[in-house]
């Protein structure tokens, strides 16, 4: 089967999620503690709202830092809906928790990935998704897209089924680059989703068409 790049929205704002879902091209949602905090809402209630709107994977992140705490939080999150994906950090305990959950058939998104060996470890632990943060790497003078390419190569070399989810996307060029190097998933804010379909020549062309149409002889 030919692979396709999936599009997730990175937000906890219900209006944005509804707007993106109305496009008919939204495959899933990612959230994090910062996004939830900005909304000033109860975490579990907001996750339930999101899962009612989007049928695809919805990543809900734990805040515990130890294995047992992560598993306890995950068990509560999994009660929300069948499409919840547990989001864990790329840490030592995070990998342990990933293995525990994946062995149970739970889908896990390993977040805050900043180097290829983290991605290799989480794939071996059975992660469903790995989320390299390309924008944050660019912010400190690195090359985030190079990380996507390295992970893609490693996964292809060894047949890992973990999907590469490009996160911390800043602008449409990141999306183009992700598509060219073969990211499985991109998660983007609403601003970038709107920017994807915006081009001055499209606007100019429409203006010309409408001007000609309105100036036609009846």
Catalytic sites, residue numbers: 87
Q: State how far the Cα of 173 lies from the Cα of 166, in Å rounded to an integer.
A: 13
Render 121-181 in DSSP notation, one character per residue. HHHHTT-SEEEEBHHHHHHTT--HHHHHHHHHHHHHHHT---EEEEBS--SHHHHHHHHHH
Beta strands in the chain (DSSP E): 6-10, 28-30, 58-61, 84-89, 108-113, 129-132, 163-166, 185-188
What region does 57 belong to: left with phi over 0, alpha with psi -120 to 50, or beta? Answer: beta
Give whole-number Cα distances, 36 to 49, 99, 191, in Å: 12, 26, 18
Report yes or no: 161 and 178 within 8 Å, Cβ to Cβ. Answer: no
CA angle 37, 41, 46 (to 5 degrees): 105
Residues 34, 108, 28, 175: what is their CA dihedral angle, to the nearest 10 degrees? 80
97: tokens are 């928790």
Cα–Cα dist 105/126, whole Å: 9
């Amino acid at each position: 089967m030919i692979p396709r790049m999936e599009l997730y929205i990175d937000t906890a704002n219900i209006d944005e999620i509804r707007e993106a879902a109305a496009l008919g091209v939204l495959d899933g949602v990612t959230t994090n503690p910062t996004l939830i905090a900005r909304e000033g809402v109860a975490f579990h209630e907001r996750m339930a709202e999101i899962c009612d709107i989007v049928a695809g994977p919805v990543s809900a992140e734990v805040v515990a830092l130890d294995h047992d705490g992560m598993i306890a939080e995950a068990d509560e999150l999994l009660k929300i809906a069948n499409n919840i994906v547990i989001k864990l950090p790329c840490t030592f305990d995070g990998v342990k928790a990933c293995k525990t959950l994946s062995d149970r058939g739970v889908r896990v998104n390993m977040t805050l990935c900043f180097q290829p060996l983290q991605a290799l470890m989480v794939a071996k632990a059975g992660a469903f998704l790995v989320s390299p943060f390309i924008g944050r790497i660019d912010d400190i003078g690195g090359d985030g897209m190079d990380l996507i390419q390295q992970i893609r190569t490693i996964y292809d070399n060894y047949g890992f089924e973990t999907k590469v989810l490009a996160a911390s996307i800043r602008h449409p060029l990141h999306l183009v680059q992700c598509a060219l190097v073969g990211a499985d998933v991109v998660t983007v804010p609403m601003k970038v989703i709107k920017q994807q379909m915006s081009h001055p020549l499209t606007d100019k062309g429409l203006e010309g068409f409408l001007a000609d149409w309105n100036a036609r002889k009846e």
